[in-house]
Amino acid sequence: MSHLSDEQIKALELKANDIRISIIDMLEDAGSGHTAGPLDMADIFTAFYFHILNHDPKNPEWVDRDRLILSNGHIVPVRYATMAHAGYFPIEELKTLRKFSSRLQGHPERVALPSLETTSGPLGSGIGQAAGIAYSARMDNRKFHIYVLCSDGELDAGNSWESIMFAGKNKLTNLTAIIDRNNIQINGMTENVMPLEPLADKWRAFNWHVIEIDGHNIQTIVNAVEEAKAVAEKPTVIIAHTIAGKGIKEIEYDYHWHGIPPSSEQEKAWMKELRTLGNKIEASHYN
Amino acid sequence: MLARHLNNIFDITSLKQEPTRDGFGHGLVDSGKSDERIIALCADLSESTRTEWFQKEFPSRYIEVGVAEQNLATIASGMANYGKIPFIMSYAVFSPGRNNEQIRTTICINKVPVKIIGCHSGVSVGPDGATHQALEDIGLMRMLPNMIVVVPCDSVEAYKATTAIAHDDVMPSYLRLGRASTPVLTTEKTHFEIGKAQLFYEVEKSEVTIIACGAMVYHALCAAKKLEGEIAVNVMNLATIKPLDTESILKEAEKSGAIVTVEEHQIAGGMGSAVAEFLAQTYTVPIEFIGVHDRFGQSGTPEELYKEYGLDATSIIQAVRKVVRRK
Ligand SMILES: Cc1ncc(C[n+]2csc(CCOP(=O)(O)OP(=O)(O)O)c2C)c(N)n1
Ligand SMILES: [Mg+2]
């Protein structure tokens, strides 16, 4: 971890861009699925799989690996794409998303693909599972860290707060939660559907250390995780402010893109937008 | 023969397809027009559960609770206790899945008229996969005292079932709906009454009666038609699973002497179990169960999954042949 050089940051940003391209490709192939959340979490997933996590794609069952738990399972295309780019399985396999007999189920399943760690999709149950792993790991004096990625919408669920209270009570310092604070859910903006603010104060009241960051800045993401791991006596939550649909201007901030895939025309246009880094460069860095 | 009040479903060219959730959506709007006590509560799924249609018509009688199905059930319980007739809409895995105990205590033991609408039931949910495909909800709901359980076979029946449960301001009910477009079998002329089963396909000297519910009724009818000349089959639409129409079921058991039940649900605890529990105590005949055999669903198209889980007409035909051999 630690400070990243400009070259390292640039490489990670390009990686996140490649992952966004894969997400759009796989969603269009699948013909169903979620677009906004996966795109806005591409930078965070890239930072985790290519820099933060202590893991081995060739040995996914390594007992001392850091655990990355995805609570809001509907954004799993970003995890599949990042894992494929990180070498967990062939990139080709991304084409099987949501198809019959695929390991890449519409919502992540631990039995189909064990390196996903948990099954999710039904919201609000990831923080509890992560806290259970964190509590057990501490009992056995294991040193790996547990990260749980969750959404803002699923903080409507009582189960989330029951688990947040448990982790605060038990001072699970080996647990870090990262919230995709994109301000959208299905029926609209979170503050209209069910207001969450003041969100940071709520977590503080439950005895968590709170960090707020720009969820699209790789260096900031890495720094926040370092700070989280250094905090004694409390679990940490990183509230990552993200832009729903990040990377595709046409859909950014729009909650209607929560749960639909791009059409083939949109796929073509969006691929071009990403391959030219938003028309900043003429040639693509790959075809 | 196919009952005369039905559409000619064997003519593929005229077959109309529509999801049962659409029939529900229209039924809720029309019920809302005739009874101001009707309230719609939703947990962040208003478009896909068709609650949006009611919301547009009656914005002040629409309540958004966010992604919080346990709260959905308890708020509705309080409103029903006060005198409203609340409908609560979500996917069946979440409601009545996640909020089962809240439904048990605050709706059923309380005996208040909350109407639970479980959309996206069965493997036909498709690409979302196992986590979103409810296969246990009939069991969960029919085990609760005071609960009425209805599984409409098409969108037209879903409309009638919705208006029927809306009229009842005493009892809680559960309406099980599907995501996929499925054939519209019934018409305006088809009679619907809670607690009454109906023969949709009737032959002389039936040797087997298939009892089906939900979208499986269509598959059962196709199986009966294909078996014509080989085995004489009746098909019953058992839309209400609770209270069970024991009189009609007994009549079929006596007449045909063999039963095949067909449902898009786990075999354990579902509609077939309800039929078997009754017949085991009154009139024993061989029974075959078509349903999901102790597995979870997975991603795929509805057609792929119907085949994989043995819920298509081919599997029903095999079960009918088997049950005849067991007579
Ligand atoms: C318990 C539960 N209830 C309902 C749903 C249906 N659902 C899927 S995603 C979602 C919206 C949640 O908001 P968020 O995760 O913030 O969505 P995003 O930002 O990715 O658009 C809902 C209600 C679910 N998956 N789980
Ligand atoms: Mg969100």
Query: Cα B32–B24–B155 angle (5° rounding)?
Result: 140
Q: How many CA atoms lie within 13 A of A143 on its CB side?
A: 1
Alpha helices in A31-142 (DSSP H): 36-40, 42-47, 76-85, 126-139
pLDDT digits (tens, 9 = 90+) for B224-237: 999 999 999 999 99
Contact B44, A187 (CB under 8 A): yes
* pTM for the whole structure: 0.96
Of B71, B298, B301, the CB nearest to A105: B298
The beta-strand segments (E) located in chain A are: 67-70, 146-151, 175-181, 209-214, 236-241
Residue A43 Cβ < 6 Å to ligand 1 = no
Among A38, A19, A62, A98, smallest CA distance to A258 is for A38
What's the one-letter identity of residue A100? F
Query: Mean pLDDT across the stretch B190-219?
Result: 98
Query: Mean pLDDT across the stretch B129-157?
Result: 98
For residue A190, the CA-to-ligand 2 centroid distance in Å is 7
Among B193, B236, B28, smallest CA distance to B119 is for B28
Query: Mean pLDDT across the stretch B263-279?
Result: 98
Q: A60-97 burial, b if ≥16 CB within 10 A, otherwise e? A: beeeebbbbbbbbbbbbbbbbbbbbbbebbebebbebb
Sign of the alpha-carbon torsion through B299, B300, B302, B308: negative
Return d(Cα B95, Cα B108) in angstroms, integer: 14
pLDDT of residue A287: 41
Domain locations along chain A: 6-283
Catalytic residue among B47, B69, B228, B247: B69
Return d(Cα B263, Cα B78) in angstroms, integer: 33
The number of the ligand nearest the C-alpha atom of B92 reads 1
pLDDT of residue A282: 60
pLDDT of residue B27: 98
* B131/chain A closest Cα distance in angstroms: 6
pLDDT digits (tens, 9 = 90+) for B250-266: 999 999 999 999 999 99
How is domain B195-325 classified at the CATH fold level? Answer: Rossmann fold (3.40.50)
Residue A57 Cβ < 6 Å to ligand 1 = no
pLDDT of residue A278: 75
For residue A258, the CA-to-ligand 1 centroid distance in Å is 9
Q: Which residue has the tokens 């309406």?
A: B175
The number of the ligand nearest the C-alpha atom of A154 reads 1
A110's CB contacts (< 8 A; 6+ apart) are: A116, A117, A118, A119
pLDDT digits (tens, 9 = 90+) for A259-279: 999 999 999 999 999 998 877
Among B233, B165, B157, smallest CA distance to B199 is for B233
Instruction: Give the count of beta carbons closer than 10 Å to the beta carbon of residue A20.
Output: 25
For residue A205, the CA-to-ligand 2 centroid distance in Å is 22
A141's CB contacts (< 8 A; 6+ apart) are: none
Give me the total of CB pairs closer than 8 Å, taking one residue from chain A and one from chain B: 92
For residue A258, the CA-to-ligand 2 centroid distance in Å is 8
Return d(Cα B63, Cα B237) in angstroms, integer: 34
pLDDT of residue A284: 47
Same topology, domains B18-183 and B195-325? Answer is: yes
Q: How far apart are the first and last CA of chain A?
A: 31
Among A268, A102, A47, A121, smallest CA distance to A94 is for A102
Contact A285, A51 (CB under 8 A): no
Residue A181 Cβ < 6 Å to ligand 1 = no
pLDDT of residue A229: 97
Query: Does A26 touch chain B if contact means CB atoms closer than 8 Å?
Result: no
Q: Percentages helix, strand, coil for chain B, rounded to the nearest 5?
A: 40, 20, 40
Query: A116, A156, A161: best mutation site toward chain B, by most B Cβ within 10 Å?
Result: A156
Query: Does B66 touch chain A if contact means CB atoms closer than 8 Å?
Result: yes
Query: Does B63 touch chain A if contact means CB atoms closer than 8 Å?
Result: no
Axis crossing angle, helix A158-169 with helix A126-139, rounded to the nearest 10? 20
A154's CB contacts (< 8 A; 6+ apart) are: A71, A72, A123, A124, A126, A160, B67
Let me know if B69 is a catalytic residue. yes
pLDDT of residue B226: 98
Domain locations along chain B: 18-183, 195-325
Query: Does B127 touch chain A if contact means CB atoms closer than 8 Å?
Result: yes
pLDDT digits (tens, 9 = 90+) for B65-84: 999 999 999 999 999 999 99
pLDDT digits (tens, 9 = 90+) for B285-302: 999 999 999 999 999 999
Residue A243 Cβ < 6 Å to ligand 1 = no
β-pairing, B85-91 with B115-119? Answer: parallel
Per-position pLDDT tens, chain A of length 287: 568 999 999 999 999 999 999 999 999 999 999 999 999 999 999 999 999 999 999 999 999 999 999 999 999 999 999 999 999 999 999 999 999 999 999 999 999 999 999 999 999 999 999 999 999 999 999 999 999 999 999 999 999 999 999 999 999 999 999 999 999 999 999 999 999 999 999 999 999 999 999 999 999 999 999 999 999 999 999 999 999 999 999 999 999 999 999 999 999 999 999 998 877 776 444 44
pLDDT of residue A279: 72
* A141/chain B closest Cα distance in angstroms: 33
Query: Mean pLDDT across the stretch B127-151?
Result: 98
**Region class of B114: left (phi > 0), else alpha (psi between -120 and 50), else beta:** beta
Instruction: Supply the CATH classification number for the domain B18-183.
Output: 3.40.50.970
Question: Considering chain B, what is the average pLDDT of its residues?
Answer: 98
Instruction: Nearest chain B residue to A102 by CA: give it.
Output: B299
Task: Please state, for a pLDDT cut of 90, what percent of chain B lies above it.
Answer: 99
Return d(Cα B16, Cα B22) in angstroms, integer: 13
**CATH 2.40.50.100: does it fit domain A6-283?**
no
Q: What does each C-alpha distance from B23 to A274, B5, B53, B185, B236 come to in angstroms? A: 42, 18, 11, 13, 21
Is residue B241 predicted with pLDDT exceeding 50?
Answer: yes
The beta-strand segments (E) located in chain B are: 17-18, 38-42, 62-64, 85-91, 115-119, 148-150, 173-176, 182-183, 198-201, 208-212, 233-237, 240-242, 259-266, 287-292
The alpha carbon of B113 is separated from its chain's Cα centroid by a whole number of angstroms, namely: 19
Residue A186 Cβ < 6 Å to ligand 1 = yes
DSSP, res B314: H
Return d(Cα B74, Cα B68) in angstroms, integer: 10
Residue B289 Cβ < 6 Å to ligand 1 = no
Query: Does B304 touch chain A if contact means CB atoms closer than 8 Å?
Result: yes
Q: How many CA atoms lie within 13 A of B69 on its CB side?
A: 21
A69's CB contacts (< 8 A; 6+ apart) are: A117, A118, A120, A126, A129, A130, A133, A146, A147, A148, A149
* A94/chain B closest Cα distance in angstroms: 14
